[in-house]
Amino acid sequence: MKKIKLSQRQEGIIKLVKEHEPITSEHLASKLNVTRAALRPDLAILTMTGILEAKPKVGYTYSKKPSYSLIYDYIRNIKVKDIMSQPVVVNEATTVYDAIVNLFLNDVGTLFVENNGILVGAISRKDFLKFAMGGTDMHKVPVGIIMTRMPNIVVVNEEEDAYEAAIKIIEHEIDSLPVVIKATDNDKKDAFKIIGKVSKTNITKLLVKMGERS
């Protein structure tokens, strides 16, 4: 089995863990002079591949396993199109009240917003909570006022692998990613049509499926 190609920083993290284990993410970030947020994707990769072990309230330790993993190879061969699910989409003119009803009826963490078939935004539970705390009438305000707009939305295409999607979710600290295709009838560079979504739930279901096969 081939070895995983690690980045220079990931190699540095492994070295620090070996020297100071158990070590917390705070201490690792301090020694590498980066933020904890910047380290999250690297630590996710190193724990997912079995190189490091994360012990709650203790820190990271070196697992003393070879630097390759069946999990890594398996997830690299799973495409986004194999795990994506149906997105919940509303129109930009939908009121905040109706959008919240949609959110809870479909039991999702994020709604995606489109206009004339084009993805234009996304709204999370946090966005709705912030709006509700402002006391504005949610029956009158359209979601287009409070949503995060393109191009400030992290997207994924159906041919990317599940591993890359998981890293995007971790790195950007979001609930789900819209799966998109280029809108061929639109000249804008960031004009996409949404065809699915990949969420934390999709990734968790994949991990469970992997566990059943092991």
pLDDT of residue 71: 63
- Tell me the domains of the chain and their CATH numbers: 8-68 (1.10.10.10), 80-208 (3.10.580.10)
Question: Which residues touch 149 (CB under 8 Å, ≥6 apart)?
Answer: 120, 121
pLDDT of residue 70: 58
Residue 51 near residue 63 (C-beta atoms within 8 A): yes
Q: What separation, in Å, do the N-terminal and C-terminal C-alpha atoms of the chain show? A: 17
Whole-structure pTM value: 0.71
Task: List, for residues 30-71, the tens digit of each pLDDT value.
Answer: 999 999 888 888 888 788 777 888 888 899 999 865 545 556
Q: How far is CA 8 from CA 5, 42, 44, 203, in A?
A: 10, 10, 15, 27
Residue 175 near residue 124 (C-beta atoms within 8 A): yes
pLDDT of residue 2: 45
Question: Which residues touch 50 (CB under 8 Å, ≥6 apart)?
Answer: 63, 65, 69, 71, 72
What is d(CA 156, CA 168) in angstroms, rounded to the nearest whole number?
9
pLDDT of residue 64: 66
Note down pLDDT in tens along the chain; length 214 residues: 445 567 888 899 999 999 999 999 999 999 999 998 888 888 887 887 778 888 888 999 998 655 455 566 677 788 999 999 999 999 999 999 999 999 999 999 999 999 999 999 999 999 999 998 888 899 999 999 999 999 899 999 999 998 889 888 888 889 999 999 998 777 777 799 999 999 989 988 887 776 665 5
